[in-house]
């Protein structure tokens, strides 16, 4: 039997650090249900001291997860962070505190401004402090990928002696080469006393496009936990993508002496869910979950695949849930069928909310005839965006064409509940609408990105618009809107981004 590798998902923590990918508690709970269906071992639910919202998310996720996975909360090497994490994890059946400190010369000298001795002292103190609240304490040696080998051994030895159960070796800046990173893990295995009794974890960033290779090099050299995210979401260029690293282990388990217990058939669904909630689109050529991951276009390849699939395909698409048969709902589908399908997609609602969603579903089914999973996700996410909105769309009317000047008449309901109507014009209909929105909301920002995608196939498909705006303080906000009319989707997406910006400001 090969070694079991624990999969530690950090979509809800490091993934959320992607600019513009913030999620509310409800959205995090939906993703948590999907992570449970995927059978991940550890869920990093958040960084409780960072905001009341994060605290609440960790608390609610702890209640939801029960014994099905370890729930982990991040802290700095600071007592008040650790107390806050312990409090947020109060209801977790299998709680873990993830605490740590920078260990590279750059972090010690330029960020923390402490000596190596002080670093070791603080590392030990944070583990001891966390141990007073939970048995399971994971220590991270931030920027370990650029640290001195012997200093890293010293810190890890000290925290192992202090009772850490997991030691996380992050390549925080995504700087390492896989072979070198593997050597670093081996050096710890060979030089830290008692390391065989703790789990070595790897947490790799993708700045050089090698996060998956780095994690695998870690596993080949003794790591038994991989930290990763769905779609490789995460700070800057992101983290190791779960779907990539798990499939690589599945394909090369014997060579790596490793296996995971993740349900890979959920990958495509999970990818779509996270993309739809965060507004972070998945590139078509993304491995495993991209739209083209199993598309063969050249004649030679098509000929090969038709003769025998594995001539050009190393993974059976069904193993990652790609191209699986779609459940299609129609206007004739009843309440129970909708509820059942939504539950399979990870959504659970109170009866009254479900009635409202059923109404919206019937409206959509009337227009569209066939309602796919993607349509349902879009519809539900649209409603949760609207529920939190300070400003919501009442009506939009456009006049455009050649040689007309595009104009928009917009009515928006504001925080005081009064409808506000304005008109504006622009270079095109979307420009006209966005100028009208700016008149109402008056919130300074730069529109960095605007994209439109159809949610499913066919001319009657919903059009989903994603926008990214930059606030005056440099923070980035993503907004999404979906509708059969792309001017409506565009308006909703812009309002969604500005609503997020304004609620953060408040
Ligand atoms: O990249 C990193 O070092 C981290 C730690 C907090 C684990 O995210
Ligand atoms: Zn990270």
Beta strands in 33-165 (DSSP E): 42-46, 70-74, 95-102, 136-142
How large a percentage of the chain has pLDDT more than 90?
75
More confident residue, 181 or 276: 181
Least confident of 13-22, 180-189, 341-350, 414-423: 341-350
User: Which burial class, exposed, middle or buried, applies to 258 when counting CB atoms under 10 A from its CB (0-12, 13-18, 19+)?
Assistant: buried
Arithmetic mean of pLDDT, 480-502: 93
Query: Could you tell me which residue, 138 or 344, shows the higher pLDDT?
Result: 138
d(CA 432, CA 326): 38
DSSP 8-state class, residue 78: -
DSSP sequence for 402-423: SSSPPEEEEEEE-TTS-EEEEE
Ligand 1 pocket: which of 101, 142, 146 to mutate (most atoms within 8 A of CB): 142
**Greater confidence, 453 or 40?**
40
Distance CA 99, CA 136 (A): 11
Which residue among 14, 76, 97, 239 has the greatest number of ligand 1 atoms within 8 angstroms of its CB, and so is best to mutate? 14
Which of 98-102, 144-148, 192-196, 340-344 shows the lowest per-residue confidence on average (mean pLDDT)?
Answer: 340-344
Going from the Cα of 242 to the center of ligand 2, the distance in angstroms, rounded, reads: 14
Confirm or reject: Cβ of 429 under 6 Å from ligand 1: no
Calculate mean pLDDT across residues 251-266.
Answer: 97
pTM: 0.87
Q: Tell me: pLDDT of 455 over 70.
A: yes
Q: Which atom of ligand 1 is nearest to the CA of 143?
A: 3
Sign of the C-alpha dihedral, residues 189, 191, 195, 196?
positive
The secondary structure of 289-326 as a DSSP string is: TSTTTT---SHHHHHHHHH-GGGT-SS-GGGGTTTPPP
pLDDT score at 16: 95
Q: Examine the pLDDT at 298 and tell me if it is beyond 80.
A: no
**Ligand 1 pocket member 203 (CB < 6 A):** yes
Q: Pick the residue whose CA is nearest to atom 1 on ligand 1.
A: 172
DSSP 112: I
Q: Which two tokens stand for residue 325?
A: 């048969």
At residue 297, does pLDDT exceed 80?
A: no
Residue 324 — pLDDT band, cuts 50, 70, 90?
low
47 versus 372: the higher-pLDDT residue is 47
Q: What percent of the chain has pLDDT over 70?
A: 99
pLDDT on residue 412? 96
Ligand 1 centre from 172 Cα, in Å?
A: 6
Could you tell me which of 476, 449, 494 has the C-alpha nearest to residue 19? 476
Residue 458 has pLDDT above 80, yes or no: no
What's the N-to-C CA distance of the chain in angstroms?
A: 54
pLDDT tens string 136-150: 999 999 999 999 999
Q: State if residue 434 touches ligand 1 by the CB under 6 angstroms criterion.
A: no
175, 207 contact by CB (below 8 A)? yes
Q: Which ligand is nearest to the CA of 232?
A: 2
Q: What is the pLDDT of residues 72-121, one digit of tens each?
A: 999 999 999 999 999 999 999 999 999 999 999 999 999 999 999 999 99
**Token pair 């790897």 in the structure block, residue:** 202
Q: Is 165 exposed, middle or buried (0-12, 13-18, 19+ CB in 10 A)?
A: middle
Q: Which pLDDT score, from 0 to 100, does residue 459 have? A: 75
- Of 483, 408, 492, give the one whose Cα is nearest residue 450: 492
The kind and range of the H/E element at 399 are strand 392-399
Can you give the pLDDT at residue 326?
Answer: 62
Query: Span 32-40, mean pLDDT?
Result: 97
**Closest listed residue to residue 290, CA positions, set 320, 261, 311:** 320
Mean pLDDT of 246-260: 98
Per-residue model confidence (pLDDT) at position 325: 53
> Does the Cβ of 94 fall within 6 Å of ligand 1?
no
CA neighbor of 469 nearest in space, from 259, 276, 333, 279: 279
Per-residue confidence (pLDDT) for residue 385, from 0 to 100: 76
Question: Which bound ligand lies closest to the C-alpha atom of 76?
Answer: 1
């Amino acid at each position: 039997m090969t070694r079991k590798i624990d999969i530690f998902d950090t979509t809800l923590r490091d993934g959320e650090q992607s600019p513009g990918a913030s999620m509310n508690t409800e959205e995090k709970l939906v993703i948590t249900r999907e992570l449970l269906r995927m059978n991940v071992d550890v869920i990093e639910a958040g960084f409780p001291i960072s905001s009341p919202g994060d605290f609440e998310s960790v608390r609610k996720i702890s209640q939801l997860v029960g014994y099905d996975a370890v729930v982990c909360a991040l802290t700095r090497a600071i007592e008040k962070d650790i107390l806050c994490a312990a409090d947020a994890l109060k209801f977790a059946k299998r709680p873990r505190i993830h605490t740590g400190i920078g260990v590279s010369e750059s972090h010690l000298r330029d960020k923390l401004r402490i000596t190596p001795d002080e670093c070791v002292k603080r590392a030990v103190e944070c583990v001891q402090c966390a141990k007073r609240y939970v048995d399971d304490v994971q220590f991270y040696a931030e920027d370990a990928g650029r640290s001195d080998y012997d200093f890293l051994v010293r810190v890890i030895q000290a925290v192992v002696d202090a009772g850490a159960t997991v030691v996380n070796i992050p390549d925080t800046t995504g700087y390492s080469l896989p072979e070198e990173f593997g050597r670093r893990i081996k050096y710890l295995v060979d030089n830290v006393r008692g390391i065989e009794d703790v789990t070595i974890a790897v947490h790799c960033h993708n700045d050089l496009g090698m996060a998956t290779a780095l994690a695998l090099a870690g596993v080949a050299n003794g790591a038994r936990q991989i930290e990763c995210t769905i779609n490789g979401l995460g700070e800057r260029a992101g983290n190791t993508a779960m779907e990539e690293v798990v499939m690589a282990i599945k394909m090369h388990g014997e060579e790596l002496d490793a296996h995971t217990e993740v349900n890979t058939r959920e990958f495509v669904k999970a990818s779509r869910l996270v993309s739809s909630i965060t507004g972070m689109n998945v590139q078509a050529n993304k491995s495993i979950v991209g739209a083209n991951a199993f598309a063969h276009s050249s004649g030679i390849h098509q000929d090969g695949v038709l003769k025998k699939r594995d001539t050009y395909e190393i993974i059976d698409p069904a193993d990652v849930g790609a191209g699986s048969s779609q459940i299609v709902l129609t206007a004739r589908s009843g309440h129970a069928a909708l509820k059942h399908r939504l539950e399979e997609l990870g959504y659970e609602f109170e009866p009254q909310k479900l009635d409202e969603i059923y109404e919206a579903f019937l409206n959509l089914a009337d227009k569209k005839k066939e309602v796919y999973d993607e349509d349902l996700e879009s519809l539900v996410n649209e409603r949760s965006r609207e529920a939190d909105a300070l400003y919501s769309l009442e009506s939009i009317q456009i006049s455009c064409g050649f040689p007309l000047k595009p104009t928009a008449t917009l009515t928006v309901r504001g925080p005081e509940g009064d409808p506000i109507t304005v008109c504006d014009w622009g270079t095109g209909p979307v420009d006209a609408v966005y100028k009208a929105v700016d008149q109402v909301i008056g919130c300074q920002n730069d529109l960095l990105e605007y994209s439109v995608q159809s949610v499913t196939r066919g001319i009657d498909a919903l059009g989903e618009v994603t926008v990214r705006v930059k606030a005056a303080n440099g923070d980035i906000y993503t907004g999404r809107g979906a509708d059969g009319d792309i001017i409506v989707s565009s308006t909703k997406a812009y309002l969604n981004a500005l609503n997020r910006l304004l609620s953060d400001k408040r």
